[in-house]
Amino acid sequence: MVDQQLLAYLEEFISNDRTERFLKVLEERTKYITVAIEDVFQLHNTSAVIRSCEVFGIQTAHIIENRFGKRLDKNIAMGAQQWVDVQRYRDSASCIAYMRREGYQIIATSPNDDTCFLDDFEMDKKTALFFGTEKDGLSKEVMQEADGFLKIPMVGFTESLNISVSAAIILQHLSTKLRRQALPWQLSDSEKMDIRLEWTKKSINSIDAILNRYYE
């Protein structure tokens, strides 16, 4: 439960324009779609996917860092990580388990499975889109646990796209489609307030000192 008095106090330290911007952006945010990135090697790919999440209104992203360590570069993400909730996991199993608990269907993106093309994909339930490594794609574990598969149709000689390009195409398409449907895609009021408070904190210099004064 957000402390309304604290939020009102902190908003005195940012401009009215920024507060209005937060409110406008939050109206388009969604957790109905989320993204999981499994063991991506190139730092810029993970960061670019986070940036695409922010641009297309996806509020949460999940990074599995089993093989290569931390894979998020704030410089490449260009600040997008401030506005997207990023959760990290040491293995794919724990990420999948979290998604199951939260009611998401697991959708594996793959250039090698023709089960469902992007234009035909229907979001009749909360969807977690899994993206894999640049060379090998998703692990067998994710492929076996997947509830479905998704492929971007391609008509050229090249068999696959860079992960960050694939994520941008899929997120743009599905987020646009989602907002046109009568599905419960928007954030709840409590979720909006929680995020608004966090964004406000991130917008204030010397936030720790200001919070100390407030609580004193």
| Residue 155 and residue 207 in one domain | no
> Considering the entire predicted model, what is its pTM?
0.90
Provide the CATH number for the domain around residue 78.
3.40.1280.10
Element (H, E) at 202: helix 189-202
Handedness of CA 90, 91, 93, 98 (dihedral sign): positive
Question: Is 12 inside a domain boundary?
Answer: no
pLDDT at 73: 52
| Residue 134 and residue 71 in one domain | yes
**Taking 80 as the threshold, does the pLDDT of residue 1 lie above it?**
no
Segment 77-130, tens digit of pLDDT: 446 788 999 999 999 999 999 999 999 999 999 887 778 999 999 999 999 999
Question: Is 127 inside a domain boundary?
Answer: yes
Segment 150-200, tens digit of pLDDT: 999 988 988 778 889 999 999 999 999 999 999 999 999 999 999 999 999
Question: Is 20 inside a domain boundary?
Answer: no
| Residue 202 and residue 130 in one domain | no
Question: Is 193 inside a domain boundary?
Answer: yes
Question: Is 19 inside a domain boundary?
Answer: no
Question: Is 93 inside a domain boundary?
Answer: yes
Q: 75 or 6, which is more confident? A: 6
pLDDT at 70: 53
Domain total of the chain? 2
Structural domain of residue 195, as residue ranges? 187-216
